[in-house]
Amino acid sequence: MVEISYVITDPRGIHARPAGQLVKLLSKYKCSVQMGTKENKVDAKRLIAVMKLALAQGNELFLVFDGEDEKAASEAALEFLKSNL
């Protein structure tokens, strides 16, 4: 299991475009991905659930990867977050 966290810096929070791109990116990996706040996580491969998290700028986002390609998935996710959110 790999866990990463990231503080959202985009003033619009996780808005529609990057949410879609992130879900798309994660869907390429076999491992399961849970994403959300420390307390409330959802399946990160499901766009509507991710959007409903309504995470805003300044919120800390947690992602938990579990499965064979978890390392690669977490690295790709972190890179995406840094350049988009």
Partner 1 sequence: MFIGTGRCASDGVCAGPIVELKETIQTPIFDRVFDESKELSLFDSALQRADKELEELYEKTLNNLGQESADIIDMQRMMLQDPDISQAMIDKIKQGVFAKDAIIEVGKQQAAEFAALDDPYMQARSADIKDITLRLYRLASGQDKVVLIKPCVLVSNDLIPSQTLDLDKSMILGILLRQGTMNSHASILARTMDIPLLINANVPNEDLNDRICVIDAHNNKFYLDADDSTIAKVVTSSSYLQEKEHLASFKGKESITKHGRKIKVCANIGSPDDVEGALLNDAEGIGLFRSEFLFLGKTTYPSADEQFAAYASVVRAMNGKEVIIRTLDIGADKKVDYFELPQEQNPALGFRALRICLKREDLFKTQIKAIYRAAAFGNVLMMFPMVTSLWEVQKAKKICKECEKELLEANIDFKVPKIGIMIETPAAAICSDKLAKEVDFFSVGTNDLTQYTLAIDRQNENLDDFYDEHHEAILELLALIAKNAHKNGIWAGICGQLAADLSLTDTFIQMGYDELSVPANTVLKLREKIINSKAIYKDENQ
Q: Catalytic residues, which ones? A: 15
Contact status: 5 vs partner 1 (CB under 8 A): no
Task: Identify the CA nearest to 33 among candidates 72, 85, 70.
Answer: 70
For residues 23-82, which are near partner 1 according to CB under 8 A? 23-24, 46-49, 51-52, 54, 56-58, 60, 82
Instruction: Say which residues have a Cβ less than 8 Å from residue 77's Cβ, sequence separation at least 6.
Output: 4, 22, 25, 26, 33, 63, 65
CB of 39 to partner 1, least distance (A): 16
Distances (CA, A) of 31 to 28, 45, 49, 51, 56: 9, 10, 18, 21, 26
Work out which of 7, 30, 68, 69 binds partner 1, going by CB under 8 A.
7
User: Residue 21 or residue 69: which is nearer to partner 1 going by CB?
Assistant: 21
- Which parts of this chain interact with partner 1 (CB under 8 A)? 7, 9, 11-13, 15-17, 19-21, 23-24, 46-49, 51-52, 54, 56-58, 60, 82-83
